[in-house]
A and B are shown apart, each in its own frame.
Chain A
């Protein structure tokens, strides 16, 4: 099993450009998450999907959109990138669909720079 995979690994954008970060998991997990990691701030939840067909905002959703394409795939879209979105983005998945937290499994991350 590959676990959680993310593409691309690195990306440089200019302000105003758009892009989609892809995430896939092969563990048959119900829930998927997108986080951003900034120095000294830990991980902050952008959006999550409790189950296929549902998505909800996390702590820092502004400037992002998500799509839960199917049970395996959860993409994050930046419609008009801003320098404040320079960060490392992590996708994660967990088995539990709701009611209590469970272990989250993380992908290797995408390092995004917006100039």
Chain B
């Protein structure tokens, strides 16, 4: 069965510092991987996705993520965090002839001034 683990419930970083949010998945074949962001009181917005090809994918707002098959990971990174990046981030996995997505439990990012 597919599953997604986001081991960090909360992360706090200083504005301007780099960021890495972890995501590990369990899936037998090549997964379809997504990162979504949710600002307070809002719906989810797609940051980036990986289907195939280059394992380093670029997304919106300066985010990127790297697919590492050997580690079953799809970590999200940003070189310099802005105060507006404070939000909750969700990793999701899909595939296996199904268009359903399985979401992780989310990581809440706090940004210190």
Residues of A within 8 A of B (CB): 4, 31, 33, 35, 40-45, 48, 50, 58, 90, 92, 94, 96-109
Contact = CB atoms under 8 A, between A and B. Distances in A.
A92 B99 CA distance: 12
B-side binding surface: helix, strand, loop or mixed?
strand
A35 B93 CA distance: 15
Interface string B42-72: 1111100101000000000000000000000
Nearest to A6: B43
A68 B101 CA distance: 20
B103 interface: yes
Nearest to B33: A101
Interface string B72-113: 000000000000000000100011011111011110000000
Interface residues of B, number: 25
Contacts, number: 65
B44 A101 contact: no
Nearest to A101: B94
A-side binding surface: helix, strand, loop or mixed?
loop
B36 to A, nearest CB: 8
Nearest to A95: B99
Interface of B: 4, 9, 32, 34, 36, 41-46, 49, 51, 90, 94-95, 97-101, 103-106
A108 B41 CA distance: 8
Nearest to B101: A101
A42 B90 contact: yes
A40 B97 contact: no
Contacts of A105: 46
Contacts of A90: 43-44
A109 B43 contact: yes
